[in-house]
A and B are shown apart, each in its own frame.
Chain A
Amino acid sequence: MLSATLYKFRRGLLKQPWKILVGLVVLAVIVFFIAVPSMTEDGTGVVRNQALIIGASSLIFMVMFNYMFYSGYKNGAVGFSTADVNFFMAGPFTEKFNLILAALNILTVGAVFAFILAFQSSTLNMAIGTNSFDMIAIIIGSFAVIVIAYFLGAFFCTHFDEQKEKKRIAIFTLIGLDVLFVIMSVVSLLKEFGSFAGIKAQGARAVIAHIGNTVYAKIFPVGGWMRLIYEGILTGDTVYLTLGIILIVSVILLIVVLFASFDINYYETAIANAQKAADLLAAKRAGVDSDSAKLSQKIKVGKETLTSGSGASVFFSRHLLENKRATKFFFVNALAILYRLICAVYIFIFSRVRFSDEGGNGTPILIAGLMMMLILDVPIYGGGKTILEFNKPYIFLSPQEGWKKLMYCLMADLPEMIFDSAVCSALLYMFAGITVAEAVSAFVMFVGFAYLCEIVGLMMLRMFKGFGRYLLMFLRSLVIYVFMVAVVIPSLIISLLAKEEGYMLFMLSCAGISIILSLILLLISRNMVDKVEYAG
């Protein structure tokens, strides 16, 4: 089985050697992001707040533990493909032996989280002063916490699969622990700083440093124990280090004993998960990203139906109907809402942790927020609904001019782009301290970028259709980012030349350049319905 898995992996790389290149790029990006904090240390003598770094790491470990325990508890054994179900589960292997497959896949999940954390190195460096060593420790620690937490959760899912009441005890215990931790943390904060006003006056960083260093944080399962190891290494405290290692090794041994000694019954959930994974893979092959596919699985039929449109315009009506069915409002994109919520939390935390107690201006928050929003524009619009239309035959078959059908599809995306852009500019207004006029400029800029993403996505489909969907999606993201840079740099130059004090000219320049680029690209690709081949 192991040799088959390795063979599958080796063969995959041989057939698609570009995956090696992508892997190397990802690795280079991780190393770069981790190394950035050390490279940019300016030696100005900023005092390193070790308590804050340990406290923040402690909270990261705890969040990871909670999230992955719940994931394991909910999903049981994930990572089985439908082929695994057919060959391994139906084959002469024990359930425990087959679980090794799942173990390998959880390592992949851990690696993805490691990448996400590495990507946040600069943010964490600016926010709490982590250096490269801290980042490596946080990534390795999180990786271990993720794997342990998942297996613990998965044990409760698979062992108590048919005893729902007993199964629930595990999750209620975890919730209880979390609630207890929050209560004890608040009590401890009040004891330290006197009152809620006193806590507020200390600022977010002091609060994180305090909470993450209480005894409750140290004894918190797995996350807290990993924190002990980290603190032991940083401070040279051998007691913490030894205690942490003993506890982590014990929990790993406990997992081995649990899975080896108790009955586990995970085939049913594994088969269901394999089906879900196959559905998501099919969606991905059709060009839909995973989050969109997951959101689509929850959509139900309501009162709305198709009542307008004729000829090419029915594509417009259908898109609006699909939007309305997904979110109740034709102008709301569910994926955009999800990603903007992430943006809001990110900007909020960033603004509170870094700058609230320094009285600086909002430029770094604006840059961080803008970057995050534009990065997320790529999955939202880069593979948007118009692009997905090319995965069905109807846009090719219906008897209207190709450019008309394309325009109606693009028009249908406008309402949600307008709403999403309004949300983005409102977030920047609230957290980055921009003026109303700048927020309006930001709104126009976001609409411009959204269309640029969509039209570059279309162009990529037109040019590289034969490259296969995965490579196409990778290239699409890469090229969209290149176009974004091509918009931002001249806009910055214009803004600098005009010696602008605010951001309005910069944003309007971005809007203007992205709209001009979009129009040029649209002109080039207007006949793509007649030129592109159907991929179904």
Chain B
Amino acid sequence: MLTVNNVTKKYKKFLANDNLSFTIGDGEIGILLGPNGAGKSTIIKSIAGLLRYTGDIEIDGLDNRSLEAKRLLGYIPEIPALYDTLTVEEHLEFIRRAYKVENRDLMERLLDRFELSDKRKKMGKELSKGMQQKVSICCALSHDPKVVIFDEPMVGLDPHAIKELKTVFRELRDGGKTILISTHMIDTIEDYWDVAHIMVGGRIAATRHNKQGAAGEKSLDELFFEITEGQGSSASEE
């Protein structure tokens, strides 16, 4: 479970996150939707413990800065952060050793799944943006985290990798993991989400739960455009 409680983050005078609170349960996929500059990446980085903020963030009931919480977290950054002179395989090996994961099975499975097996000897600097993103995803998943946060994971991926990643989302959810995905690409999220938070100006402007057969309500993209184009600003809880 991921719990964000009254989190505020300021960059000098700019309020990037304004008293944000939300929860994503076990076996749930949460989506952070919003236009550029809405504060999605900031809250994702705060959850990952990369930024300082005020408020509380808990991962499975543990403070996100504790070592136990770090062990449970997988983070996929918006811009892949690979080491230039480390190979694909070495990146995964580095993470495996850093997280003290004993066997290499998951690492090998991920390499196969994201079609990186034949690229295992390529260095980070030799990979395309999409390939780097795949390595980044594999690194985040290679220690079998309980909570996984994705920051704009589809950017740069080819259609096949996007399809594979969506399958991974579903599998992780079915395995009881907590997933949080930040994206501004509303057309890529389809129906695999459980809860969606629409962010504008550092705040959650609306929250929508994905309920089958809820008649007469606006679709997620209708709600999104209504809010982000300024036709409505009040939060609606479904």
Contacts and interface: CB of A to CB of B under 8 A. Distances in A.
Contacts of A400: 67, 98
25 contacts: A299-B84, A299-B123, A301-B122, A305-B90, A305-B93, A306-B90, A306-B93, A311-B100, A314-B94, A315-B98, A318-B83, A321-B90, A322-B83, A322-B86, A326-B85, A391-B81, A392-B83, A393-B48, A393-B50, A397-B48, A397-B50, A397-B70, A534-B50, A536-B50, A536-B81
A59 B71 CA distance: 63
Interface stretch (B72-80, B159-167, B168-176): B72-80
Contact of B84 (A296, A305, A318, A531): A296
A394 B85 contact: no
Interface string B200-211: 000000000000
B95 interface: yes
B79 A536 contact: yes
B127 to A, nearest CB: 13
Contacts of B68: 399
A392 to B, nearest CB: 5
Contacts of A309: 97
A504 B188 CA distance: 69
Contacts of B49: 396-397
A379 B94 CA distance: 27
Interface of B: 12, 45, 48-52, 65, 67-68, 70-71, 73, 75, 77, 79, 81, 83-87, 89-90, 93-95, 97-100, 121-123, 125
Interface in A405-441: none
A310 B99 CA distance: 8
Given A301-B123, A397-B70, A401-B67, A306 B94 contact: yes
Contacts of B65: 530
What bracket does the count of chain A residues touching chain B fall in? 20 to 34
A393 B63 CA distance: 18
A16 B84 CA distance: 30
Given A322-B86, A399-B68, A399-B71, A393 B94 contact: no
Contact of B12 (A393, A396, A466, A533): A466
Contacts of A296: 84-85, 125
Nearest to B68: A399
Contacts of A74: none
Nearest to A313: B97
A325 interface: yes
B94 to A, nearest CB: 6
Interface in A357-410: 391-394, 396-401
Contacts of A533: 50-52
Contacts of B99: 398-399
A306 B97 contact: yes
Contacts of B122: 301
Given A306-B90, A399-B70, A536-B77, A394 B98 contact: yes
Nearest to A318: B94
B121 A396 contact: no
A105 B50 CA distance: 38
Contacts of A399: 67-68, 70-71, 98-99
Contacts of A317: 97
Nearest to B69: A399
Contacts of B12: 466
Contacts of B90: 305-306, 318, 321
Nearest to B46: A533
A203 B106 CA distance: 70
A322 B95 CA distance: 15
Give the interface centre of A297, A401, A533 by most chain B CB atoms within 10 Å: A533
A125 to B, nearest CB: 42
A205 B79 CA distance: 56
A314 B98 CA distance: 6
B98 A299 contact: no
A411 B53 CA distance: 31
Contact of B77 (A299, A301, A393, A530): A393
Contact of A534 (B45, B85, B94, B123): B45
Contacts of B77: 393, 536
B86 A318 contact: yes
Contacts of B87: 301, 305
Contacts of A401: 67
Nearest to A296: B84
B85 A310 contact: no
Interface in A136-188: none
Contacts of B84: 296, 299
Contacts of B75: 393, 397
Nearest to A535: B50
A165 B65 CA distance: 62
Q: Please provide the 9 A-B residue pairs with the shortest distance between their CB atoms, ordered closest to farther.
A: A534-B50, A399-B70, A398-B98, A314-B97, A399-B71, A399-B67, A392-B81, A306-B90, A306-B93
A310 B97 contact: yes
Contacts of A531: 52
A534 to B, nearest CB: 4
Nearest to A396: B50
Contacts of A393: 48, 50, 75, 77, 81
Give the interface centre of A311, A393, A530, A534 by most chain B CB atoms within 10 Å: A393
Nearest to B140: A397
A317 B95 CA distance: 12
A534 B86 contact: no
A326 B85 CA distance: 8
B185 to A, nearest CB: 21
A399 B74 CA distance: 11
B30 to A, nearest CB: 20
A466 B65 CA distance: 21
A298 B28 CA distance: 45
Contacts of A394: 81, 94-95, 98
Contacts of A325: 85
Give the interface centre of A296, A399, A401 by most chain B CB atoms within 10 Å: A399
Interface in A272-327: 296-297, 299, 301, 305-306, 309-312, 314-315, 317-318, 321-322, 325-326
A396 B94 contact: no
Interface in A327-381: none
B146 to A, nearest CB: 12
A108 B86 CA distance: 35
Give the interface centre of A296, A311, A318 by most chain B CB atoms within 10 Å: A318
Contacts of B48: 393, 396-397
A322 B84 CA distance: 9
Nearest to B97: A314
B159 to A, nearest CB: 26
A441 to B, nearest CB: 35
